[in-house]
Amino acid sequence: METNVQNKELLPKKYKIQECIENLKRNEYRIIIKAIPSIIGKGATTFYNYRDILIDDKEDIPFKIVRKLEILFGLESGGLETKKTDGNHYSQIVEQHRKR
Distance of CA 39 to the CA centre of its chain: 15
Count Cβ neighbours within 10 Å for each residue of 56-65 and write b for 16 or more, e otherwise: eeeeebeeeb
pTM: predicted TM-score of the whole model, two decimal places: 0.78
Other Cβ atoms less than 10 A from the Cβ of 17: the count is 23
Would you give per-residue pLDDT tens digits along the chain (100 residues)?
Answer: 555 555 667 789 999 999 999 999 999 999 999 999 999 999 999 999 999 999 989 999 999 999 999 999 999 999 999 988 888 999 999 999 998 8
Residue 36 domain boundaries: 2-98
- Give the number of domains in the chain: 1
